[in-house]
Amino acid sequence: MTQQNTSLQDPRPKNYIGSALLFIGIFTTATVVGILLILGMLTTFKIRWKIGYAWCAIIGWITKVACGLTFKVEGLETIDPKQPAIIMSNHQSAWETLALRYILPPHSVVIKRELLYFPIWGWSLLTLKSIVINRKNQRASLRSLLEQGTKYLNEGLSVLVFPEGTRAGAREVLKFNIGGAMLAHKTGFPVIPVAHNAGDFWPRYSFFKYPGVIKVKIGPAIETKGRKAAEINAEAEAWIRQAMKEMD
């Protein structure tokens, strides 16, 4: 069944002022932070990560004050900061691209090439060891994910993947792409599934943000050694689908 665009039918009052303040806050601070990250190429990744972490914390604070939107995390204790993993999360909005940098230990994120077209903002993502993929060339994208993902995992850095490949509607989970599971199959590092309902409060393609508490569920590690990629992918997808049902 096709998910309807609930942002056009949402009966909740529109939060014009709060949403506008958040919009302004994101884009003004992103420019400053982007410049700092680019200049930070003269320093270490650890310092650059702290800069990005601080920015995401600031955006979280603006979101709370301006829009009345916060979040609650369940299962964070299952993540070992010293154990690199492939983190698979569902994708519903821009919220998780910011918040997961703040919630999770340092990691590399798989991003689409189009983000690099934005001066300063897009360029700064490269300083955080992002894995850039071209969604129009699946073979090249998979090669980049496997090569760079393996490199970062071996360096002790986790890799965050959004296996749906694009943002889904609220309470919807799209079919998972195989790339993250193939990386897990190749390297033997565990998979950590993450589910959230950010789309209920920060809808895709919508200017408006709504007050409430976003739920984030972090699942137990999925063993990958000696297992096929399709099997790993199916288990991660099933866990996230079930977690989403429980949130509903």
The reported pLDDT for the residue numbered 2 is 40
- Contact present, 149 and 131 (Cβ < 8 Å): yes
**218 vs 247, higher pLDDT:** 218
Query: How large is the average pLDDT for residues 49-74?
Result: 98
Give Cα 95 to chain centroid, integer Å. 8
The reported pLDDT for the residue numbered 4 is 43
Cα 147 to Cα 10, 29, 44, 182: the distances in Å are 43, 33, 22, 11
Percentage of the chain modeled with pLDDT above 70: 96
Instruction: Delimit the domains of the chain by residue range.
Output: 70-247
pTM of the model: 0.92
Q: For residue 2, is it left (φ>0), alpha (ψ between -120 and 50) or beta? A: beta
Q: Give the pLDDT band of residue 7 (cuts 50, 70, 90).
A: very low
> Is the CATH code 3.90.45.10 the one for domain 70-247?
no
Mean pLDDT of the chain: 94
Question: Cα–Cα distance between 84 and 87 in angstroms, integer?
Answer: 9
Q: Give the pLDDT band of residue 3 (cuts 50, 70, 90).
A: very low
